[in-house]
Amino acid sequence: MSATASTILSVVRFRPLRFLRAIVTLAAGLALSVAFAACSSSSASPETSPPVRIASQVVATVETDPVPHRGDAADDPAIWVNPTDPAKSTIIGTDKKGGLAVYDLAGKQIQYVADGPMNNVDLRRGFPLAGGKAAVVTALNRATDTIAIYRVDPQTRGLVDVAARRIELGISSYGSCMYRSPRSGKFYLFANSEKGEVEQWELFDDGRGKVDARRVRSFDVGTQTEGCVADDRLASFFIAEERRGIWVYDAEPGGGTSRTKVDSTDGLGHLRADVEGLTIAYGPNGTGYLFASSQGDSTYAVYRRGGAHEYLGSFQIVDGGEIDGTQHTDGIDVTSVGLGSAFPRGVLVLHDGRNDSGNQNFKLVPLESILQS
């Protein structure tokens, strides 16, 4: 199937051949729909990914405009893949002192939503809303401990508030991420607190074209958490316990509290506290990669997505000719879908805690410069 050709790995293998590159870019576009459609078919048996080499030092090719607030203000990005024109996809970034910014793939800010101090942002396509399908974006408002909910307007590429009401968490808000169940097709938000408490909320159309939510599960991780990511096909939920490491839980609401350690900061693992953002690059049939921000040493660890989450290596984003490297990174997001000529095999987006040219911002790195064959 052509979608197979769009995997990160086969893409990298064909790099020197120009016409194949074009085919692969096309296939990546097709894979967009395939990838998301695959959410409904469970593929719980992880397969072995072909070998990949993790580059040790890479550079960003794009940086976004700085956020409007000074100090530790930017935090977490989410990528919206434009289904009709992937080159016109966007990055949604949090400014935890004021709201959410939307950037194009050249890094230019195209919208700023001053809705309050938003922490962690995430997005899921295909959400059933008002008789159609919408890309829904969530963030947590730390001033009100509420769930902010938007949809992406595909025409303007901007965010439109679709929260049905003021949805208050039962915990003090900190990190969050979204999940679409491969079993039920339902959409969820995981919210967590600085105490390591987690709440899972089901998101649904309220019947009037807005999105409402109900709490379906609560559990404790232990100590402070923030970064998290859910695997929409393997039904797993990864969360960073900042001082300790990464845990994986069952992402289903009935999944209980049993968990497995993925990696640790204890000197035996590959992370240096704080452990911050987590994100997943999907390949077909359960393959792909989990990325983690190891904030304490400004590196990023890469793991195999399924199975025992084998550690594959770590890398840094270093200074390039034009664009500075990344330090003290909080949130990250990745897609393995090709986004036009600038990011033909996908992109990794990273918060930069120390931008050389102003307030904090986000850096964009072509995925194939990290995952090398």
Among 65, 75, 199, 263, binds Ca ion (CB under 5 A): 75
Cβ 240 to Ca ion, closest distance in Å? 8
CA-CA-CA-CA dihedral for 307, 309, 311, 316, to nearest 10: 130
* Cα separations in angstroms, 68 against 127, 158, 333, 364: 31, 18, 21, 19
Residue count of the chain, please give it: 373
Q: Which stretch binds Ca ion (CB under 5 A): 25-33, 72-80, 229-237, 248-256?
A: 72-80
Q: Is 231 in the site for Ca ion (CB under 5 A)?
A: no
Q: CB of residue 354 vs Ca ion: minimum separation in angstroms?
A: 5
In three-state form (DSSP H/G/I as H, E/B as E, the rest C), the secondary structure along 124-178 is EEEEEECCEEEEEEEEEECCCCEEEEEEECCCCCCEEECECCCCECCCCCCCEEE
Torsion sign, CA atoms 33, 81, 118, 228: positive
Among 65, 202, 352, 368, binds Ca ion (CB under 5 A): 352
Q: Does 324 bind Ca ion (CB under 5 A)?
A: yes
Residue 355 interacts with Ca ion (CB under 5 A): yes or no:
yes
Q: Does 194 bind Ca ion (CB under 5 A)?
A: no
18 Cβ partners below 8 Å, 6+ apart?
A: none
Whose Cβ is closer to Ca ion: residue 5's or residue 118's? 118
Distance, CA of 79 to CA of 336 (rounded, Å): 11
Q: In whole angstroms, how close is the CB of 359 to Ca ion at the nearest point?
A: 10
Our finding on whether 333 is near Ca ion (CB under 5 A) is: no
Site for Ca ion in 252-311 (CB under 5 A): none
Nearer to Ca ion, 11 or 105 (CB): 105
- Taking CB under 5 A as the rule, does residue 72 contact Ca ion? yes
Q: How far is the CB of 98 from Ca ion (least distance, A)?
A: 15
Q: Could you tell me if 171 and 140 are in contact, meaning their C-beta atoms sit under 8 angstroms apart?
A: no
Asked if 241 touches Ca ion (CB under 5 A), the answer is no
Give the residues lining the site for Ca ion (CB under 5 A): 72, 75, 226, 324, 330, 352, 354-357
